[in-house]
A and B are shown apart, each in its own frame.
Chain A
Amino acid sequence: MASSSHITDIEATSSDVAFANLGVGPSGLSLAQPSDFFALMKPRVMSLVVFTAWAGLVCAPGVLPLWKAIASIICIAAGAGASGALNMWYDADIDAKMSRTKKRPIPQGKMSPSAALGFGTLISVASIWTLYIASNMVAAALLAFTIFFYLVIYTMWLKRSTPQNIVIGGAAGAFPPMIGWAAVSGDITLNSILLFMIIFIWTPPHFWALALYKTGDYEKVGIPMMPNVKGPKSTRNQIMAYSVLLAAIAIAPIFTGLGGPIFAVFSIALNLAFLALAFKVWKSRAGETAESSDEASLYAVKSGDRAARNLFAFSIIYLFAIFGVMALETVLKGLI
């Protein structure tokens, strides 16, 4: 398997990166703190996972007893955290060279890659098993598939080989609401697939907006992100295309009965705002380098990068709002 040679590569290049001592002190004891293990689980990503899984759980037909619902959410969050730890184990070499990721525990030399591997594996197994006993086989199987997909399909295979990495790999981040739904209903339906599709189609514009103003970072470590493979113009075109597709999918719940009138109003408003920001990026020069040092050229590039930043920031609010309103309306419907 590629992983063993990958780790050898990490150790071989360790002389010029921060994790040269592989996270151990002079006596051989690890210097890792519990907080470093928590950081391995990508807490910010976990918060989005917890929220979308909760939304899936609330919107699903049927009722799950409170404890089982809490247990299911904890398991899904732990599973997502475990896949984050496994991702940091495999990507330790490139994380050390990127400004966005160089402060992670392994590049900082706080722990060895093998500690992250052990931690991630243990939490993966525990979260899948406990989700099975807390809910059902379908939800546990979906969680297991999500961890496999994120580690093997995205991290090990797609991330370093194709600019479509986050398009296909985005599926891993789209599964949590589907798992939450399955924890209640025990099945996969059109509506749970819609929840999946919203995050799946949201991922490319979200990540490519970030990649447009972080192009240099990805290029430095040889990650084929869309801006450094196809160029900023093609990336901006695709951001616009995916944003239109996202708008179509995000209003679909109105027609399937998943979203009511409150969702309809918010969804239309949020999608219009998303489209407006994507349009600004599309018309801008985000991701390009100024061909001359004259003020107008520098300003055009800088304002393009600002448009990409705005789209990236809004895309996070967008996802929380779409799922939040959908869940809230379902709760209100239940109360009336």
Chain B
Amino acid sequence: MAEYRDKPKDFHQPTPEELKARNKRNVAIALSLALFMIFVFVTMVSKGVIPSGV
């Protein structure tokens, strides 16, 4: 069953530099998303859209 329809012809193992860059990007995206959510939440609270007691 483990058959590829379009089996890759030239597969290259990611280099340590590529993996390192990808990990750094992943961490940056995660942090940015978390900060963005906090940012929007605090803004909504400061506008009174979300009651501050919640």
* Residues of A bordering B, CB below 8 Å: 25-34, 37, 65, 67-68, 71, 74, 126, 130, 133-134
Residue of B nearest to A123 (CB): B32
Q: Is there contact, CB below 8 Å, between A133 and B40? A: yes
B residues contacting the other copy or chain, number (CB 8 A): 23
* Residues of B bordering A, CB below 8 Å: 11-15, 17-19, 21-22, 24-25, 27-28, 36, 39-40, 42-44, 46-47, 49
Known: A30-B18, A30-B21, A30-B22. 8 other contacts (CB 8 A): A25-B15, A25-B17, A29-B22, A30-B25, A33-B24, A34-B25, A67-B43, A130-B39
Q: Is there contact, CB below 8 Å, between B15 and A34? A: no
Smallest Cβ distance from B26 to chain A, in angstroms? 10
Q: Is there contact, CB below 8 Å, between B43 and A133? A: yes
For the A-B complex, the count of residue pairs with Cβ-Cβ distances under 8 Å equals 60
Q: Is there contact, CB below 8 Å, between A27 and B40? A: no
Q: Is there contact, CB below 8 Å, between B40 and A32? A: no
A31/B21 contact (C-beta < 8 A), A74-B39, A130-B40 known: yes
Q: Is there contact, CB below 8 Å, between A27 and B25? A: no
Please indicate the chain B residues that have their CB under 8 angstroms from the CB of A134 in the complex: 43, 47
A67/B46 contact (C-beta < 8 A), A27-B14, A126-B36 known: yes
User: Cα distance A106–B21 when bound, in Å?
Assistant: 16
User: Cα distance A179–B25 when bound, in Å?
Assistant: 31
Smallest Cβ distance from A192 to chain B, in angstroms? 23
Smallest Cβ distance from B47 to chain A, in angstroms? 7
Please indicate the chain A residues that have their CB under 8 angstroms from the CB of B18 in the complex: 25-27, 29-31
Which of B15, B42, B46, B49 has most chain A Cβ within 10 Å? B46
Q: Is there contact, CB below 8 Å, between B12 and A28? A: yes
User: Cα distance A27–B15 when bound, in Å?
Assistant: 8
Q: List 20 A-B contacts (CB under 8 A).
A: A25-B14, A25-B15, A25-B18, A26-B12, A26-B18, A27-B13, A27-B15, A28-B12, A31-B17, A32-B21, A32-B25, A34-B25, A67-B42, A67-B43, A68-B43, A68-B46, A71-B46, A133-B40, A133-B47, A134-B43
User: Cα distance A68–B44 when bound, in Å?
Assistant: 10
Smallest Cβ distance from B9 to chain A, in angstroms? 13
Determine which of B21, B27, B28, B39 lies in contact with A29 in the assembled complex, contact meaning CB atoms within 8 Å: B21
Please indicate the chain A residues that have their CB under 8 angstroms from the CB of B19 in the complex: 29
User: Cα distance A221–B49 when bound, in Å?
Assistant: 51
Please indicate the chain A residues that have their CB under 8 angstroms from the CB of B36 in the complex: 126
